[in-house]
A = this chain, B = another copy of it.
Amino acid sequence: MSIIIDLNSDVGESFGAWTLGDDARVLDYVTSANIACGFHAGDPQVMLQTVRLAHDRDVAVGAHPGYPDLVGFGRRAMACSPQEVYAFCLYQIGALAAICQAEGVRLGHVKAHGALYNQSAKDVTIARALVQATRDAAPGLILLGLPGSRHETAARELGVPFAAEAFADRAYERDGSLVARSRAGSVLHDPQEVADRVVRMVREQTIETAEGASLHLHADSICVHGDNPAALAIVERVRQALDGAGVRVGPLRDVLSL
């Protein structure tokens, strides 16, 4: 049996006159696009263009809802109630779903952005709001999130398909959490090192922690970035390494056998 893994990236993060990232290029390498939905980044035209870019490359489209915080890029924790989170996730997913509908594209998954990702990973009431919106916005959406976190708990509870993601370029602690960005060595920059780690993650379901121990890690998808040339160099190398190792890079739906 061949191994299959999804590669996902956050795209569509431009806004109005402002461009962020090189979506056309990163979408050449990944199989899932998490498209910003206008609250922390993205605007309706950017969303439409990004859906088209993904569709042209046969990349699966997902919604990437975030907090209503444009100036903070959705990275600042906000004390929103579960009711608020539910409603604004539904809103954002629906906005993208209509754009997909117009382009003849199936909306396939949802991944929370930034502080919403982090808060829903820790707080099950926020996670449930996110998962309920995922379940209610359209039938069959997959939640893409952090394995072992409240993302997974809430998705299992509510019967929403869950896909686990790992981070190509981040150092891990022994408990499977990410080393805080404030610590030295938390983010890896060498393309070959990252590519080697990803191949090992996928083939052996293990990763070496910051302290050198071996950690079991199951991932359905690997998150990569395309917001600068160095990030793109990593994506390219990761994709080549996976292809070279005989790993099939394919959409979440195939990984989860849905």
A-side interface residues toward B, CB under 8 Å?
13-20, 38, 41, 43-45, 47-48, 68-73, 75-80, 83-84, 87-88, 90-99, 101-102, 115, 133, 136-138
Contact B94 A97 (CB under 8 A): yes
**Are A73 and B41 in touch, CB under 8 angstroms?**
no
- Kindly list 14 other residue pairs between chains A and B, CB separation below 8 angstroms, not including A79-B115, A101-B137, A102-B137: A17-B20, A17-B73, A38-B91, A45-B88, A48-B87, A68-B72, A69-B69, A76-B80, A78-B78, A90-B95, A91-B95, A94-B97, A101-B136, A101-B138
Given contacts A76-B80, A78-B78, contact A98 B137 (CB under 8 A): yes
- Contact indicator A16/B72 (Cβ below 8 Å): yes
Copies in the complex: 4
* Contact, CB under 8 Å: B80 / A45: no
- Tell me whether A43 and B17 are in contact (CB under 8 A): no
| Contact of A90 with B76 at beta-carbon distance under 8 Å, contacts A18-B20, A70-B16, A84-B45 already known | no
Min Cβ gap A69→B in Å is 7
Q: Are the C-beta atoms of B90 and A102 separated by less than 8 Å?
A: yes
Q: Could you tell me if A44 and B77 are in contact, using CB atoms closer than 8 angstroms?
A: no
A136 contacts across to B, CB distance below 8 A:
98, 101-102
CB neighbours of A87 from chain B (8 A)? 43-45, 47-48, 99
User: A43, A71, A73, A75: which has the most chain B beta carbons within 10 Å?
Assistant: A71
